[in-house]
Structure 1
Amino acid sequence: PVSAGQPSPPCEIWTDAEVVTAICRAGPADQDYTTLMDSALSPASRRLNPKLKKYSVDFIVF
């Protein structure tokens, strides 16, 4: 927790490609893999973030 008056820790901002690449690198062995992939590639995510439209199952190579 951050004390009052202290700056918040820096946040790392990932691009869409970095997010998808990190999920793919983790692979199916990661317990959150399926949830993350479903979330990132869902129609709702694609509507909210049109940049995700370019990613499909074809993009993901294991």
Structure 2
Amino acid sequence: MDVAATDRGTPLEAVAEAIRESNEALAAEVLQRVLDQPPAFLEQLVLTLLSAPWDTAVGLARAPST
């Protein structure tokens, strides 16, 4: 986070800006790491991400009620 950014705005705005910058850096890093992998990795990643909500829903439906 840039020190000058904290001089402009409220502390809440400075925190929001720091979070935004962190999210942007993380997104760029994740994208680069995915792009550095072979195509089969991307295919498996897409399948995993698309099936994750379904797997969670099925797991919750099968979970014993308390």
Q: TM-score, normalization: structure 2?
A: 0.27
| Bigger relative contact order, structure 1 or 2 (CA pairs below 8 A, ≥6 apart) | 1
